[in-house]
C-alpha cells in the first residue's frame, strides 16, 4: 500500500476480503508494516504515482511515453515469480492485440524480474462491459485460438486504452491450453489440473451472474 508516498504492507485477521481502506475501523486486527525497498525499486517508486494495487503487485504511473505504467511485484518471492510469469505471458501474446502492450524488457534487479512497463489503460465500468460483452468474448476467443487460457478473467482484468479498445490484463495465472496448472497457484481459483478454455468460460459465467449481466444481455 502507498501511505503518504511510502510503501507499507497491510495485514488483518479474519477471512480474505476486499475492503475500502479509507475506513479501517471495521477491519479486525488491521496493521500497517513499513516495507524497505532496494535502491532500484525505491527510485522508481519515489518518482511515480500510485494507480492501483492487488494481492501480488501494484501499478504506478510515471511519464507519458508508450509504456508509462510500471507494475511492481510485492517484495516476496511468490509475487515476484508471478509477475515474471505475467510478463512472459503478455510478451507471448502481444501479437494477438488482445492483451495490453508491454515494453520489450522487464524491470530487473539483482534478484531477477520485479516488474514491467505497460501502456496506459483505463477502467471499464460494468455497464459498459454489459454493452460490449461480445467484444469480451472475442478477446477470449483470440486467446484460445492462440493456444492460451487467461485463467483469471474478471471485470477488473478487462480495461480499455485511450482510444476505447478493450484489452485483457493480469495474466499471471494464464497458461497454454493443455499444460498443467502450477501447483503454487491458489486452490480456490482452479479445480482442474490442466488449462482449458472452459476455465475462462466458467469465470465469465460466474461474474456475469454475480453482476446480473446475464439478465441484461
Q: Assign residue 27 a region (left: φ > 0; alpha: ψ between -120 and 50; beta: otherwise).
A: beta
Sequence-separated (6 or more) residues with CB below 8 Å from residue 209 = none
Q: List, in order of start, the domains of the chain with CATH numbers.
A: 1-35 (no CATH), 122-215 (1.10.510.10)
Euclidean distance between CA atoms 45 and 41, whole angstroms: 6
Residue 81 pLDDT exceeds 70: yes
CB 166 within 8 A of CB 139: yes
pTM of the model: 0.84
CA dihedral 9, 72, 153, 151 (to 10 degrees): -100
Tell me the per-residue pLDDT of 181-203, one tens digit each, with 9 for 90 and over. 999 888 888 888 999 999 999 98
Q: Which residue has the higher pLDDT, 37 or 144?
A: 144
Tell me the per-residue pLDDT of 101-124, one tens digit each, with 9 for 90 and over. 999 999 999 899 999 999 999 999
Residue 167 pLDDT exceeds 60: yes
CB 117 within 8 A of CB 102: yes
Query: Which triple of cell numbers denotes residue 135?
Result: 467484444
Q: What is the pLDDT of residue 188?
A: 84
Q: What is the pLDDT of residue 5?
A: 77
Residue 17 pLDDT exceeds 70: no
Sheet harboring 31-34: ordered strands across? 2-3, 6-11, 31-34
Amino acid at each position: 500500500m502507498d501511505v503518504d508516498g511510502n510503501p507499507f504492507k497491510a495485514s488483518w485477521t479474519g477471512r480474505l476480503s476486499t475492503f475500502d481502506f479509507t475506513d479501517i475501523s471495521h477491519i479486525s486486527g488491521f496493521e500497517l508494516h513499513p516495507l524497505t525497498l532496494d535502491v532500484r525499486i525505491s527510485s522508481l517508486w519515489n518518482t511515480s504515482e500510485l494507480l492501483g494495487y492487488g494481492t501480488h503487485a501494484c501499478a504506478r504511473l510515471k511519464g507519458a511515453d508508450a509504456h508509462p505504467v510500471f507494475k511492481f511485484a510485492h517484495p516476496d518471492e511468490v509475487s515476484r515469480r508471478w509477475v515474471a510469469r505475467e510478463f512472459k505471458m503478455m510478451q507471448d501474446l502481444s501479437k494477438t492485440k488482445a492483451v495490453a502492450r508491454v515494453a520489450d524488457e522487464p524491470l530487473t534487479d539483482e534478484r531477477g524480474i520485479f516488474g514491467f512497463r505497460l501502456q496506459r489503460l483505463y477502467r471499464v465500468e460494468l455497464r459498459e462491459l454489459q454493452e460490449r460483452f461480445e467484444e469480451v468474448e472475442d478477446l477470449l476467443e483470440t486467446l484460445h485460438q492462440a493456444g492460451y487460457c487467461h485463467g483469471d478473467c474478471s471485470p477488473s482484468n478487462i480495461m480499455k486504452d485511450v482510444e476505447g479498445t478493450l484489452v485483457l490484463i493480469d495474466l499471471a495465472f494464464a497458461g497454454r491450453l493443455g499444460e498443467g496448472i502450477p501447483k503454487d497457484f491458489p486452490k480456490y481459483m482452479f479445480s482442474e489440473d490442466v488449462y482449458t478454455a472452459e476455465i475462462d468460460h466458467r469465470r465469465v459465467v460466474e461474474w456475469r451472474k454475480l453482476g446480473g449481466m446475464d439478465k441484461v444481455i
